[in-house]
Amino acid sequence: MNFRTKQFVRSRFQHYYKTHEIYLPPGFDVREWGFIMFDELPEVRMRRHKAFGSRGELSDYLSGMVPSHAYYSTAYYTYPAARNMKEKRWQGADLIFDLDADHLRKQGADYAEMLENVKEETIKLLDFLTEDFGFRSEHIEVVFSGGRGYHIHVRDQSVLKLESGARREIVDYLTCTGFDYKNVFENDSTWKVRVSEKVIDYFYKLRFSVDKNEALLSLQRFTGVGKTRSSKLMDTLYGFNTRDELETYFRHGGFGFEQHSALNVKQVAENITNLEGIASLRGETDEPVTTDIKRLIRLPLSLHGGSGFTVTPVAIDALESFNPLVDAVTFGSDMTSVTGIKPFEIQMHNNTYTVELGTSVLPECAAIYAMCRGACEYGE
């Protein structure tokens, strides 16, 4: 971003902050705040250890300083503005989940599809949170991050004090990490119920709704299962005439899960846990967001300096129909000329806009997005 582009984007951000209500998280005055400024870009230096005592103060800061990124701490502190963590005195922290498309195995062909995939994951996660964990929806806030995913903030009183190791257990549950595959048909854990049902579904499908050759091929995907083993297993399956019989065999067959002679059933189950767990929470290797109890997180209704999107809170029941490429678009359609640095494409409001090398004219929303992504500079 050159100087002129920075000036332009900053002035558009400023206009936004001057004309929109800001969002205040509960307990805003006992949280730490952090910002990244346009002047310092591309260097990412966070100004942290800030604290605000009133809505007006924060609002003035945003429209006066116009940060390119705005964050607040998930933690509550006695002295949020203290310089180091010890002096701040940690009092608790929201439970946060960061669902980022980068951690998804299913990447999607383009940005739109990727966002759709991560939204599906978010919906799945919300289901776990309300069903298994019993969180009430008024304690859950879902926010489109303005980038590649969603943040879920849980502010149920019972979790605020949890230490990092305890939060890790929650993530492990959601990703089905550390699952005990032994005696999976015994149903003594929620995941066993889930997994064993799917395992039985799988064999049921092989037996009753797939043609035999296809079934054999499906089984042969597993390591150590060749022609002989797969056909032996299919013979066993063809011995059952109803789902009940099949289910009884597995649940009360008197053999351990691992010891099945024809197939290491564990592999089937592993496949299933991979599909059922929340993939996007997996593979966050260093400092996963959830277990980091001192993390800063993007301020809802602020603007994401890397995209120009609004960091948008979404009601749980509106999530299904939420489309960030329409609903999180901040800027309008005034035509704006830009100079392309690299070829670039973005969908917004169901149109596709392209940046070519040289000059192009785009609606402001797409132009700012491309500038924030570093694909073009402002003006000719």
Nearest to 23 by CA among 237, 374, 378, 299: 299
Shortest CB 109 distance to another protein, Å: 33
Going residue by residue from 72 to 111, which x/- string records binding to another protein, judged by CB under 8 A?
A: ----------------------------------------
Distance CA 328, CA 301 (A): 9
Show contacts with another protein in window 20-39 (CB under 8 A): none
- Residue 162 binding another protein, by CB under 8 A: yes
Which one of 188, 211, 244, 286 is the catalytic residue?
286
Shortest CB 337 distance to another protein, Å: 53
292 is an active site residue: no
Q: Which of 191, 204, 249, 378 binds another protein (CB under 8 A)?
A: 191
> Which one, 193 or 210, has the nearer CB to another protein?
193
- Residue 131 binding another protein, by CB under 8 A: yes
* Dihedral pair phi/psi, residue 96, rounded to 5°: -120, 140
Show contacts with another protein in window 327-346 (CB under 8 A): none
Q: What is the 3-state secondary structure (H, E, C) of 257-287?
A: CCCCCCCCHHHHHHHHHHHHCCHHHCCCCCC
- Residue 322 binding another protein, by CB under 8 A: no
Token pair listed for 264: 């290491």
Strand boundaries in the chain, DSSP class E: 33-37, 47-50, 67-73, 75-77, 90-93, 95-100, 140-144, 149-154, 296-298, 312-314, 335-340, 344-348, 351-355, 358-363, 376-378
100 is an active site residue: yes
Buried b (16+ CB within 10 A) or exposed e, 143-178: bbbbbbbbbbbbbbeebbebeeeebeebbbbbbbee
Q: Which of 188, 211, 286, 317 binds another protein (CB under 8 A)?
A: 188
Residue type at 64 in one-letter notation: G
Stretches 30-38, 45-53, 68-76, 154-162: which one binds another protein (CB under 8 A)? 154-162
Shortest CB 269 distance to another protein, Å: 13
286 is an active site residue: yes
Distance CA 325, CA 356 (A): 21
Stretches 7-15, 23-31, 131-139, 222-230: which one binds another protein (CB under 8 A)? 131-139
Stretches 55-63, 153-161, 230-238, 317-325: which one binds another protein (CB under 8 A)? 153-161
Distance CA 108, CA 112 (A): 8
Residues contacting 159, CB < 8 A, separation 6+? 94, 95
Which residues make up the interface to another protein (CB under 8 A)?
Answer: 131-135, 158-159, 161-163, 165-170, 172-173, 176-180, 188-192
Give the residue numbers annotated as catalytic, written as ranges. 98, 100, 286
